[in-house]
Amino acid sequence: MSGCFELLLKRRVLDEFAANFRPALARRMDGRAVRVAVLLAIIAILNCLDLSYTLLAHRAGLLRELNPIAANFLNMGLEPSLICYKFLTLLVGSSILWKVRRSSWAPGACWLLVIVYVWLSIVWCAWTNDFSAAIDNDVRVVKVAQLHMPEARLAAR
């Protein structure tokens, strides 16, 4: 019987603990804060995607970076500095938006950033399709040349 009483007592203590701390947690993470947190996570993912495409295009030699700071990093061969710069700007921007998460404009600002990054991701996807098609065409041209020109077969070996 004492085991049953201890179990009920523990359960009662846990219920009281949960009842006392639930309102504080609910105040801390209201609906707007949750939306801002989710949008900031999406922004971080899309920012990493943009960074990876930027580095891919730069390594392929097909990038004209429009951001003057990033362009200087890439022109000087400072890819690690570019990565740090991108993550630092992401961290600072996200921190500012997180600090003002209770304001009425914070979710709108986050949505605007998500829309811009989604648009940029669509542009990168189109670029990737064009880039892969160009590579595919170059490979086909080389194969056709190797079939029809004996000296091209020798040069390929």
Query: Residue range 8-37: average pLDDT?
Result: 64
In a domain, 42, yes or no: yes
In a domain, 17, yes or no: no
Q: Of all residues in the chain, what percent are helix, strand and coil, respectively (each to 5)?
A: 85, 0, 15
Closest listed residue to residue 43, CA positions, set 152, 116, 127, 135: 116
Model confidence pLDDT, tens digit, residues 101-133: 988 899 999 999 999 999 999 998 888 888 777
In a domain, 139, yes or no: no
Which pLDDT band holds residue 153 (cuts at 50, 70, 90)?
Answer: very low
Q: Rounded to whole angstroms, how far apart are CA atoms 149 and 152?
A: 5
In a domain, 19, yes or no: no
Which domain does 71 fall in, by range?
30-128
pLDDT for 148 equals 47
Query: What domain count does the chain have?
Result: 1
In a domain, 22, yes or no: no
In a domain, 140, yes or no: no
In a domain, 87, yes or no: yes
Q: Rounded to whole angstroms, how far apart are CA atoms 115 and 87?
A: 19
In a domain, 86, yes or no: yes
Q: Rounded to whole angstroms, how far apart are CA atoms 50 and 120?
A: 7
Model confidence pLDDT, tens digit, residues 49-100: 999 999 988 888 878 888 899 999 999 999 999 999 999 999 999 999 999 9
Taking phi over 0 as left and psi of -120 to 50 as alpha, with beta for the rest, 65 belongs to beta
